Amino acid sequence: MKFAKMLVIALTVGLSVPVAAQFSQLGPKNEKMLKIEAGYAPYMGNVGTAGEKGYYLSKFHNAINLNVMCGVNVSQDWFLGGGMGLNYFHNTSQAEAQSLLGANVFFDFDFRPIWKAVMGVDYQPTTIKWAPLVGARVGGSVLLGDDSGYGTTITPMGEVYGGINWYYRHGLRNMEHNWHSLYATIGVAYMQQTVFLPIRVGWRW
């Protein structure tokens, strides 16, 4: 079990290393990108098999989270990178539910189809301000001192999400940093034997 946990952490950290290494060798269509987002993730349900002490999060905990990601913006449409997040698990309706802290380390990618093509020629009209967004992330989750009696726990984490971008610096293809945007997403996430419904707002630049 310890080997599996260490493998998850090593793979997750390893995914972010190539991204950082690319920063010094980006091509003309590839640029550095940072993303920061905050969100609230309502509890959806526990999954898997409960141990003798129950599930890791057994008190219907919701999560407040903050994520920071760095990576590469590829040909305007794609983001590939790694990130870290902090989670505050809580339940305001049950007095006996202890609030808990956790952290995630993950690989993140998203796709924003902001370019259009006519007869094989790409262009971006100045009127394009909005674009859909789909993405996913995978990594590991750490829960610090959970109240089920398991102590610190480590599990895989995964998420799929969709949403919309607002390009507040929209413009022609050669406009510098025209991919800056504010975005909102909703998705489904798994971590610590629990499924959540994360709703987030973020800023990319």
Ranges 51-60, 82-91, 117-126, 188-197: which has the least confidence: 117-126
Contact 162, 178 (CB under 8 A): no
> What single letter denotes the amino acid at residue 163?
G
Q: Find the angle CA(138)-CA(84)-CA(54) to the nearest 5 degrees.
A: 65
- How do strand 151-166 and strand 116-118 relate by DSSP bridges? unpaired
20: CB partners within 8 A, 6+ apart: 70, 82
pLDDT at 96: 67
Is residue 119 predicted with pLDDT exceeding 70? no
Using an 8 Å Cβ cutoff, are 163 and 133 in contact? yes
Tokens at residue 154, please? 């480590």
pLDDT value at 85 more than 90: yes
CB 153 within 8 A of CB 144: no
pLDDT averaged over every residue in the chain: 81
